[in-house]
Amino acid sequence: MKHISWLLTLIVSGALALPTPAAETDRLKSDLVGQTMGGREKCWKFQSIDQIKELVIKNKTEDAQKQVYTIALKLQAAKDSAKYNAEARVEYAKAISGWQIKCVGLLSLKKVE
């Protein structure tokens, strides 16, 4: 019986240590503020979390030194401005202080009606 309770405690504590999808999404949103994706033709500068109306993680790959996310976004700069659907590739690199965004690559940016 001791072994079972010890095992359950270990499993529960391990599960609590894993980031939840909501926590990952919130981290991505806050980390994107100040970042720019795109270039001359199509570009988006993240100025606040409020611009990100929706963020969905479509794919994630990870190793010891980097994390790569493919994300879908719904963006709007201000309440009365145009809305956009976007897809981006966000790459994090391992740093002394934790994970830091290395680059944000714009895969698509489309204005929606």
Say yes or no to pLDDT of 77 above 90: yes
What integer is the mean pLDDT of 65-89?
A: 96
Q: What is the pLDDT of residue 91?
A: 97
Q: Where are the domains of the chain?
A: 20-112
Extended strands (E) in the chain: 36-38, 43-45, 52-62, 66-76, 83-95, 98-112
d(CA 103, CA 105): 6
**Cα→Cα distances 77→46, 48, 51, 53, Å:** 9, 9, 5, 10
| Claim: this prediction has a pTM higher than 0.85 | no
What integer is the mean pLDDT of 13-30?
A: 73
pLDDT band for position 3 (50/70/90)?
low
What integer is the mean pLDDT of 79-106?
A: 95
Say yes or no to pLDDT of 62 above 70: yes
The class of domain 20-112 in CATH terms is alpha beta
* Percent of the chain's residues with pLDDT above 70: 82
Give the number of C-alpha atoms closer than 13 A to the C-alpha of residue 24, restricted to the C-beta side.
Answer: 17
